[in-house]
Structure 1
Amino acid sequence: MRRLLFVLSATVLLAAGWLASPASAGGWAATYLDPPPAQFQPGTTYTIGFWVLQHGTHPFEGDLGKTGLRMTGPGGQVLTFDGTARPEPGHYATSIVLPKGTWKVEGIQGMFKEHDVGTLTVPGALKLNPPPADLRHDGKDYWGAIRPPGFPVGGSTEPVAAVPVPAPASVPAPASAPVSAPAPAAGFPPYALLLAGLGGAALALAGVRLARRPPVDEAPTGDRTDTITVS
């Protein structure tokens, strides 16, 4: 009888614990990043802000536990960067530095399951996954001016918007690019400039020919000479 009561009591306690667990009660969370840098370089430190929100809409009430960002890279390499709580509810920050490679980014969310944030290419940019589909606010406003990205002011029930990621900076044109010739001056047709150029060339040629002609009073030279005999 005592053994039966012990088994029944253990079953009741396990069932109560299962019902009270976040996963069984529909408890889940999502991690949203503050606008990240447009480009990431290997070996460079970046500070990343992120929000852990229960049901993707509101901060967790109580001790959430350990938060941070987990990076899974080439060959299964895993790097974890712990989060530090900010003054705003559900807001955290961490500093990351990564070598070259493509990294899967996950949000560590305390008692909740990790959230798949996106993919980070180093060197390159971060590609964020869209927020959960049809995710709506509960009508309450938990923040002031500093709030999660995509969350409107005033506790609106509009869906959470996707976080825009800045596009990479455009690459300047190479220095060897051809340079277009300047346009002709206004009021002068192109053929007038051509005729003026031809006339200038003709005048220059005539000046060269005149410079080569001998002076008029210069005595001619030759082998024959005239002899005058006076009787």
Structure 2
Amino acid sequence: MKRIVTILVAVAALAAGALPVSAAGNWAVTYLDPMPERFAPGTTYTLGFWVLQHGSHPYEGDLGETGLRLTGDGGKELTFRGTPLPERGHYVTAIAVPEGSWRVEGVQGRFEPYLVGTLSVPGGLEVRPVTGDVVMRVGKDYWGDIRPPGFSRDGQPPKAAAVPSAGTQATAPAAGPAAPPATAPAAPAVAASPPGGQSGVPGYALLIAAAGGALLALAASRLSRRGRREPEPPVDERRDTLAFPG
């Protein structure tokens, strides 16, 4: 029985270790407030951003450290830590960036970083579109007059917040249905970006299912064999009889 339990624990550990946080329903999306049209090298800019679990609501609890992380072509990293604003899930940071091309990510506390887009200095910020499959609809409004860009007055997130360039953060939802992620999440509330906006069954899930099925089949086979006891061989009494001469 102990072996069966060990096998089942191994299946659970395999699934937990191989699944990214986003697949377990823990992801977040970083939305930027309207950005400057142009960024100059070494100039200080104050930027607002929102970290929302499931792309739609503030995290309930201690989210942890937030900010914006910029990675240059040579691998150089610049991290600008966020400071909470009065609105839930709303933060601000100040940045000054050298010349170059920079990958911009949202640092999201307990959630995985979210890829925001690419910043060219001098130049603008090209924001990666937020696709509908990384945004879970909610039935509650968490904000007042100050709210994330594109969110309606009833608290609903944009169906597809496509923000193609700097300074044009979407303020109106684009057309298209919003679908929940393929791995229909449960809430605690934020992570990590399942970013990429890919839907369907990921390859790693099929591998985990195959490995788990093999382990469970092995467990069932062993349990079945233990249920069938092999018959004991007949006893040859003649071999066990000792004869003593008279």
Q: What is the TM-score when the length of structure 2 is the normalising length?
A: 0.58
Check the 8 A contact 2:32/2:48 in 1, yes or no: yes
Q: CA offset at residue 120 of structure 1?
A: 0.6
Structure-to-structure mapping, 1:115-126, within 5 angstroms: 115-126=114-125
Structure-1 residue corresponding to 2:127: 128
Give distance in 2, aligned partners of 1:12 and 1:127: 42
Give distance in 2, aligned partners of 1:139 and 1:165: 30
SS at match of 2:149: coil
SS at match of 2:139: coil
Instruction: State the structure with bigger RCO (CA 8 A, min sep 6), 1 or 2.
Output: 2
Structure-to-structure mapping, 1:1-231, within 5 angstroms: 22-23=21-22, 25-134=24-133, 135=135, 137-156=137-156, 159-163=159-163, 165-166=166-167
Give distance in 2, aligned partners of 1:16 and 1:128: 33
SS at match of 2:132: coil
Check the 8 A contact 1:150/1:160 in 2, yes or no: no
Segments of structure 2 that go 5 or more residues without pairing to the other structure are: 169-246
Pair 63,39 (structure 1): closer, same or farther in 2 beyond 3 Å = same
Cα deviation digits, residues 159-199 of structure 1 (max 9, x gap):
253347447xxxxxxxxxxxxxxxxxxxxxxxxxxxxxxxx
Q: CA offset at residue 9 of structure 1?
A: 11
For 1:98, give the aligned amino acid: V
Check the 8 A contact 2:55/2:157 in 1, yes or no: no
Segments of structure 1 that go 5 or more residues without pairing to the other structure are: 168-231
For 2:72, give the aligned amino acid: G
Give distance in 1, aligned partners of 2:49 and 2:157: 22
Cα deviation digits, residues 17-40 of structure 1 (max 9, x gap):
76xx95453111110000011111
Check the 8 A contact 2:143/2:155 in 1, yes or no: no
SS at match of 1:59: coil
For 2:31, give the aligned amino acid: Y
Check the 8 A contact 2:150/2:158 in 1, yes or no: no
Pair 158,79 (structure 1): closer, same or farther in 2 beyond 3 Å = closer
Give distance in 1, aligned partners of 2:34 and 2:158: 20
Structure with greater Cα Rg:
1
Give distance in 2, aligned partners of 1:156 and 1:141: 7
Give distance in 2, aligned partners of 1:24 and 1:126: 29
Cα deviation digits, residues 90-129 of structure 1 (max 9, x gap):
1111110011001110001111111110111111111111
Pairs aligned (count)? 166
Q: CA offset at residue 156 of structure 1?
A: 4.1
* Aligned alpha-carbon RMSD (Å): 3.0
For 1:147, give the aligned amino acid: R
Pair 142,160 (structure 1): closer, same or farther in 2 beyond 3 Å = farther
Give distance in 2, aligned partners of 1:16 and 1:89: 33
Q: CA offset at residue 16 of structure 1?
A: 11
SS at match of 1:76: coil
Pair 165,125 (structure 1): closer, same or farther in 2 beyond 3 Å = closer
Q: What is the TM-score when the length of structure 1 is the normalising length?
A: 0.62
